[in-house]
């Protein structure tokens, strides 16, 4: 009995730890504000799973009570955090957390993302067939339209 219970607990704890660490890694690695927020939520849920597992293991419902509170608090927090993210987006027009880095120390250089190479329109080559038969009628309008596809 106790052996089975302990195995079960270990499984739960493993899942909780994995969820938590996924959240941590996501929070550190990702720069999208919403994703970061989701990762934070995930860490919370990882902790919640652990709490529930221990609660069940010790036969003490306090842990589950706490998880219910956590869910309620997380809901409020989500409301506030999303509102904040919305405001930040309204200001910056982007969700990149690296955009908000003015609050660094004076002499620390700003973080500059690697530049994404620009698409060069004129070098774009479309597949073409060898000319044969009658030259198709070139539709100017379609031509211009296609080039912008």
Point out which residues bind other proteins (CB under 8 A).
24, 27-29, 31, 36, 97-98, 100-105, 107-108, 110-111
Minimum CB separation of residue 39 from other proteins in Å reads 10
Nearest approach, Cβ of 108 to other proteins (angstroms)? 5
Q: Which residue has the tokens 């690697």?
A: 114
Q: Coil, helix or strand for 41? A: helix
Beta bridge partners of residue 32, listed in sequence order: 96
Nearer to other proteins, 31 or 145 (CB): 31
Six-digit token pair at 122? 């004129």
Nearer to other proteins, 59 or 107 (CB): 107
24-57 core/surface letters (b: 16 or more CB in 10 A; e: else): eebbeeeeebeebbebbebbbbbbbbbbbbbbbb
CB of 128 to other proteins, least distance (A): 46
Q: Tell me the backbone φ, ψ of residue 94, rounded to 5 degrees.
A: -150, 165
CA–CA dist 47, 63 (Å, integer) = 11
Task: Tell me the closest approach of the beta carbon of residue 29 to other proteins, in angstroms.
Answer: 7
Closest C-alpha among 38, 16, 17, 14 to residue 27:
38
Nearest approach, Cβ of 85 to other proteins (angstroms)?
Answer: 12
Which residue, 107 or 144, is less far from other proteins as judged by CB?
A: 107
């Amino acid at each position: 009995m106790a052996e089975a219970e302990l195995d079960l607990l270990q499984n739960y704890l493993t899942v909780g730890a994995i969820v938590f660490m996924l959240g941590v890694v996501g929070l550190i690695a990702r720069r999208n504000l919403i994703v970061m927020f989701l990762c934070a939520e995930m860490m919370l849920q990882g902790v919640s799973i652990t709490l529930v597992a221990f609660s069940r293991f010790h036969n003490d419902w306090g842990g589950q009570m706490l998880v219910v509170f956590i869910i309620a608090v997380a809901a409020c927090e989500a409301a506030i955090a999303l509102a904040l993210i919305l405001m930040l987006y309204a200001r910056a027009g982007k969700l990149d957390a690296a955009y908000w880095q003015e609050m660094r120390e004076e002499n620390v250089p700003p973080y500059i993302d690697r530049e994404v190479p620009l698409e060069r329109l004129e070098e774009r080559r479309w597949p073409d067939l060898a000319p044969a038969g009658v030259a198709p009628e070139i539709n100017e309008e379609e031509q211009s339209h296609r080039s912008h596809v």
